[in-house]
Amino acid sequence: MQRRVFLSQSLGALSLAQLRVRQLRADESPSEKIVLGIMGLNGRGSDLAQSFAGTPGAEIAYLCDVDDRTPPRVADQISKRQTRRPELVGDFRRILDDKTVDALVVATPDHWHAPATILACSAGKHVYVEKPASHNPHEGELMVAAARAYGRTVQLGTQRRSMEKEIEAVERLRSGEIGRVLFARGWYNNARPSIGHGNTGPAPSWLNYELWQGPAPEQPYRDNVIHYNWHWFWHWGTGELGNNGIHALDVCRWGLGVDYPSTVTAGGGMYHYEDDQQTPDTHVVTYDFGDKGITWEGRNWHRRGFEGNMFGMAFYGDKGTLLTEGGGYKILEPDGKLRTEQKGSESQQPHLQNFLDCVRSGKRPNADIEEGHKSTLLCHLGNIAYRTGRTLKLDENTHQIVGEPEAAKLWSREYRPGWEPKV
């Protein structure tokens, strides 16, 4: 009996050792490919497909979009970067059914991010999902649960988490370079055109509008929504706060080392255009974390921002200021004099490589979905505070809204029957 136990334990230890060797070899060898399917190609998806195809150790097997005009064009681009020509599909569930596919890249409108991620995890796929993580807070909670329940790597597309100089900037903040850091500001300003007033009618022949809507309750096709202006409708999007504010808020939260706010207030409105846009064109949100604070401001009709940049993040300490911009950063003395400046790159390649490395090793990625959910939650809370006109208070244990029933209703949403996300 002792001999059999000894042999069993020895073989078990050997198997674990062999598994670890295989993992190390996968980390080191780009020849061990990770096979990907890309969902959503009109926007970030096309860019991600080309970037992944040009990354050693990755191969694009599928391109998927509900607009049947787009996949052939993207396939031509991909074929210049890899020998395999991707298969073109209109329904992402075809990708999930293929057991040779390791990961799904989700670059769809916001209302699809969580349902697609959860279905992919349940099908045994790892996921790279574009920001914001979810369309509402409850979906974010489900995404974290799905990643953990199925043991999948889920990386959010907040690529600054993998930029060398952004990491260095946060390390210098944490080391006390600008003293006690009490406040951070994020902003995004742009000069977007009006979306006008759309007309309802039948969807064009090239669009599978039913699948584009997917989990969202059905609405008539409107000709000024697809492929970009869905951002400005609550039914599908999360406004500029979820579109670009997530990048700033993620870095602000990361730099300050905070997780959940205690209170959130918001103001703003549709001040510039009179069109179909529902989300604010001017939006200011303040997050109180007890001993620290964050403010975010967005304007999509005027490009001038803070600290000389249309987009950026600033940290204010009692011994100086740190500004991040262009993948690099500056540190200023209390009187504004430049102390140091570090140039950096805004390339997303390190973030994609980090995802692939973690798929191989099983380690948590730089923008793991749990961190991504926390940052995306700030966007949702800012939107909920704006939509209800209420100051939101969060329970310190559950991190959910308390004392505001109307606001709490926006924690989740209604779904089209059969598409309710579940773990």
At 113-157, the pLDDT tens digits run: 999 999 999 999 999 999 999 999 999 999 999 999 999 999 999
When pLDDT is cut at 50, 70 and 90, the band that residue 356 belongs to is: very high
Q: What domains can be seen in the chain, in order of their start residue?
A: 2-159 (3.40.50.720), 161-346+369-411 (3.30.360.10)
Mean pLDDT within 30-45: 89
At 165-188, the pLDDT tens digits run: 999 999 999 999 999 999 999 999
At 383-394, the pLDDT tens digits run: 999 999 999 999
When pLDDT is cut at 50, 70 and 90, the band that residue 8 belongs to is: very low
Distance, in Å, from the CA atom of 74 to the CA atom of 343, rounded to the nearest integer, reads 32
Of 406, 399, 175, which is closest to residue 289 (Cα–Cα)?
A: 399
Of 296, 308, 311, 297, which is closest to residue 332 (Cα–Cα)?
A: 308
Of 80, 51, 78, 47, which is closest to residue 62 (Cα–Cα)?
A: 78
Distance, in Å, from the CA atom of 25 to the CA atom of 387, rounded to the nearest integer, reads 51
Q: Which residue type is seen at 414?
A: E
What is the bridge-based pairing of β-strands 87-89 and 311-317? Answer: unpaired
| Exposure class string for 190-199: b at 16+ Cβ within 10 A, else e | bebeebeeee
What single DSSP character describes residue 161?
G
When pLDDT is cut at 50, 70 and 90, the band that residue 32 belongs to is: confident
Strand ranges for 121-236 from DSSP E: 126-129, 154-156, 181-189
For the chain, give percent helix, strand, coil, nearest 5: 40, 20, 40
Q: How many CB atoms lie within 10 A of CB 15?
A: 10
At 219-246, the pLDDT tens digits run: 999 999 999 999 999 999 999 999 999 9
Residue 347 has what pLDDT?
A: 97
When pLDDT is cut at 50, 70 and 90, the band that residue 3 belongs to is: very low
At 393-405, the pLDDT tens digits run: 999 999 999 999 9
Cα 211 → chain centroid:
22
Q: Round the average pLDDT of the chain to a whole number and report it.
A: 93
